């Protein structure tokens, strides 16, 4: 029987942080040396490369599990289900609960347990667990949910991607401008309708690639704290992504039995607008095809990079709003794909 996403929800914080918010920051390279460029030049170059003009940060009183719960309530409502009928709650994230002003990564209790607690689900057979898989975590959660359902271990799963990355960044690192907060959720179950999850592909490369995203102390030489922050080798991540995502997408699409001309939308992880455009270019080049117009929605410019939350959030807003004139309809074939810490890459061919 086909396995479908039957309900979606998202939570985008209201706090808009524009690029101008970083003008007064002091940026340093990894050696602790100030850049010769002015902050305005740094920010202008950053915007030209990433496409980001603003990002969203969570309210001070909200944690990752709060954002995840808000998105889940929307997904449950959208699916028109009883929350007590959920068999698994899978929460993909990177840093657990991070309270405002602390930078302490809390993994106990798990974020998934806190979501179940905040949803007030009393069914003890509803299993809640966290998934740490970098930015591709939500897609991997969907793949795991499909496996649970197909093996008859579950009938219905809630899969969430949520992060509050604004609380893990080093404000003296110019790459910190990329990161944002948010949450997206989906209800996955078996239906008697055609389509659903047609194929999927996941790879992990953990040689030198394992160190492309990491945690390290502040680049500010005056900061003597031992606290560590999210860091990345942006150039290496970019090169890895454009070298590996297109082939993974091709394999995934071919295994579905669908053709490249069948694809109506491609939802890529919203890390960097130029990166996504390059991935799209090389993906279609494999088929000797021109890129169709309006094939790839982009939200990183206004939402920033909220890691595991980017794809489920973007999918939800495209489903429910006229987001930049992007629409999907019943029967459409779409692709999901992501890349992130691991380095992990995954993709899904999905038919609405």
Q: Which residues are catalytic?
A: 135, 269, 305
CA-CA-CA-CA torsion sign (163, 273, 237, 233):
negative
Instruction: Using the CB atoms, write b or e for 160-171: b if 16+ within 10 Å.
Output: bbbbbbbbbbbb
CA-CA-CA-CA torsion sign (289, 244, 253, 182):
negative
Q: Which DSSP letter does residue 34 get?
A: B
Edge to edge, what strands does the sheet with 196-204 contain?
196-204, 344-351, 333-340, 263-268
Q: How many CA atoms lie within 13 A of 235 on its CB side?
A: 0
Q: CA–CA separation, 65 vs 70, rounded Å? A: 9
By the 8 A CB rule, do 125 and 333 touch? no
DSSP letters of 213-249? EEEEE-S-TT-----EEEEE-HHHHHHHHHHHHHHHH
């Amino acid at each position: 029987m086909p396995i479908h996403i039957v309900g979606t929800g998202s939570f985008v914080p209201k706090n808009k942080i524009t690029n101008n918010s970083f003008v007064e920051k002091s940026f340093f390279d990894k050696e602790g040396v100030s850049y010769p460029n002015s902050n305005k030049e740094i920010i202008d170059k950053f915007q030209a490369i990433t496409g980001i003009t603003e990002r969203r940060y969570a309210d001070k009183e909200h944690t990752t599990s709060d954002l995840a719960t808000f998105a889940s309530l929307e997904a449950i409502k959208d699916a028109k289900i009883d929350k007590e009928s959920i068999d698994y709650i899978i929460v993909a994230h990177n840093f657990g609960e991070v309270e405002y002003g602390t930078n302490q990564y809390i993994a106990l209790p798990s974020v998934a347990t806190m979501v179940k607690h905040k949803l007030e689900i009393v069914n003890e057979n509803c299993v809640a667990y966290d998934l740490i898989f970098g930015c591709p975590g939500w897609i991997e959660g969907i793949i795991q949910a499909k496996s649970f359902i197909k093996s008859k271990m579950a009938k219905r799963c809630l899969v969430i991607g949520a992060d509050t990355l604004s609380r893990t960044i080093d404000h003296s690192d110019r790459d910190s401008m990329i990161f944002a907060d948010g949450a997206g959720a989906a209800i996955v179950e078996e239906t008697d309708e055609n389509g659903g999850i047609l194929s999927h592909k996941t790879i992990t490369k953990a040689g030198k690639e394992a160190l492309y995203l990491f945690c390290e102390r502040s680049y500010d030489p005056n900061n003597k704290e031992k606290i560590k922050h999210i860091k990345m080798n942006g150039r290496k991540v970019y090169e890895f992504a454009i070298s590996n995502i297109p082939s993974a997408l091709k394999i995934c699409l071919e295994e579905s039995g669908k053709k490249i001309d069948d694809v109506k939308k491609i939802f890529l992880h919203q890390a960097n607008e130029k990166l996504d455009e390059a991935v799209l270019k090389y993906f279609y080049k494999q088929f000797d095809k021109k890129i169709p117009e309006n094939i790839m929605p982009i939200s990183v410019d206004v939402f920033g990079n909220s890691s595991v939350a980017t794809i489920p959030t973007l999918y939800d807003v495209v489903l429910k709003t006229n987001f930049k004139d992007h629409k999907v309809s019943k029967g459409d074939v779409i692709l999901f794909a992501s890349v992130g810490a691991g380095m992990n890459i995954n993709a899904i061919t999905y038919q609405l």
